[in-house]
Amino acid sequence: HDVQKSRDTRRVPINKVGVKDISYPIVVMDKLKKVQHTVARVNMYVDLPHQFKGTHMSRFVEILNSYREQIALDKMETMLEEMKQKLGASSAHLEIEFPYFIEKRAPVSGARSLMEYTCAFRASLNDTFDFVLEVRVPLTSLCPCSKELSRYGAHNQRSVMTVQVRYREFIWIEDLVTLMESCGSSPVYSLLKRQDEKFVTEQAFENPRFVEDMVREATLRLTADENISWFSVEAENFESIHNHSAYAAVERDKR
């Protein structure tokens, strides 16, 4: 008989049960090229009523396998609906994290290369559908305090900003990246020629930003965007003068 279906008498419903950290090749939508192949790390969970002993783990993988060529924002709700139905659950959760690449042109030479942005789709469905888009954007930050104090130079470093948004109308990853890249002292690039390196060095020096400034700039832009209904934004500076990070975070519900 089916052990998972057998009756459980402990009267403990389970919030989330499923598969975690499964690595799978997927295809996502790309603003310029229509589609983009990437590799995802996926979590899939449902709730389990108290009277059932176990869920059916293999069904999660079957669903993932059948949708993997069409992982798009507009498929998330369908996948969750199928998870609820095939697992006999009243709520379902889907988390898909993947590297996403955007072609960028160096600011002066125009040299093209690809930049990686780690993205995640975090979706849930019980009676209503909830979707959060997450993007991690690397940046340069240059310290305003160090610039003001010092006779020359200013310490700067790589930073990463993590933004999560809920929105009304569809939004492209590319557009969210553009919005975030304006929040630091300078964007970063995979490929910079000498004239580009001069440009980004000077740009950073002209735009000193604390970690506090970065989340505030993002807050202003995300608040002004009427399509965004909720957001959370974090900035982390991998300080060049320390072996630890500076960190700031803002969350705002506009609903």
Nearest distance in Å: CB 166, its own copies:
17
- The residue within the footprint of its own copies, chosen from 51, 85, 113, 178 (CB under 8 A), is 113
Nearest distance in Å: CB 234, its own copies:
8
Phi-psi region of 36 (alpha: psi -120 to 50; beta: other; left: phi over 0): beta
List binders of its own copies among 137-176 (CB under 8 A). 138, 140, 142-146, 148-158
Q: Is 7 among the residues that bind its own copies (CB under 8 A)?
A: no
Q: Residue 73 or 111: which CB sits closer to its own copies?
A: 111
CB 116 within 8 A of CB 100: yes
Which DSSP string corresponds to 138-196? EEEEE-HHHHHHSSS---EEEEEEEEEEEESS---HHHHHHHHHTSSSEE--S---HHH
Q: Residue 125 or 246: which CB sits closer to its own copies?
A: 246
Nearest distance in Å: CB 22, its own copies:
4
- Classify 215 as helix, strand or coil: helix
List binders of its own copies among 37-76 (CB under 8 A). 37-39, 43, 45, 48, 53-55, 57-58, 61-62, 65, 68
Helix axes 211-224, 173-181, angle to 10 degrees: 130
Q: Which two tokens stand for residue 88?
A: 């006999």
Q: Name the phi and psi angles at 91, rounded to 5.
A: -145, 150
Q: Is 8 among the residues that bind its own copies (CB under 8 A)?
A: yes
Q: Residue 1 or 168: which CB sits closer to its own copies?
A: 1
- The residue within the footprint of its own copies, chosen from 84, 99, 122, 174 (CB under 8 A), is 99
Q: Residue 125 or 142: which CB sits closer to its own copies?
A: 142
